[in-house]
Amino acid sequence: MKARMPASSNLACATCYGQGVTNTEQGPLACPDCGGEGKLPSPMVLTDWRLRELERHYQTLGGETGQDVQWLVSEVRRAHHALVQILAASQEAADDGDPITSKIKFLANDVLGAYPVKRA
Ligand SMILES: [Zn+2]
């Protein structure tokens, strides 16, 4: 089951002012913060990028702290994956108007930030 999720938010990247490129001494380069898109990725993508960064950093560090962080990152990934599955599963039933699955969908999305939430 594939979740229907937007790949990016509609927030313009503050680093490149939505242009997708930054000027460097070597000339224009793809903006490192938005990957050249000009828009910030969704919170889910940002979380994944940050987890990868942490993994890379602590892999090279090694030792007990490195192992602890690797374990934490894998636990966060497992929980994140479970929430994505819950969101996807609740989506279909919530679309049919079931209040409990609508609540489950809302709670999972609140943590994941997959969809912008319209607050009353
Ligand atoms: Zn940017």
pLDDT, tens digit, for every residue of 85-105?
999 999 887 778 888 988 999
pLDDT for residue 42 is more than 90: no
Mean pLDDT of 34-38: 87
d(CA 12, CA 85): 29
5 vs 100: CA distance, rounded Å: 21
Which phi and psi (to 5°) does residue 6 adopt? -70, 140
How far does residue 12's CA lie from ligand 1's centre (Å)? 8
pTM: 0.67
Gap from CA of 30 to ligand 1 centroid (Å):
8
Q: How far is the CA of 110 from the centre of ligand 1 (A)?
A: 25
Q: What is the pLDDT of residues 2-23, one digit of tens each?
A: 334 445 566 788 899 999 999 9
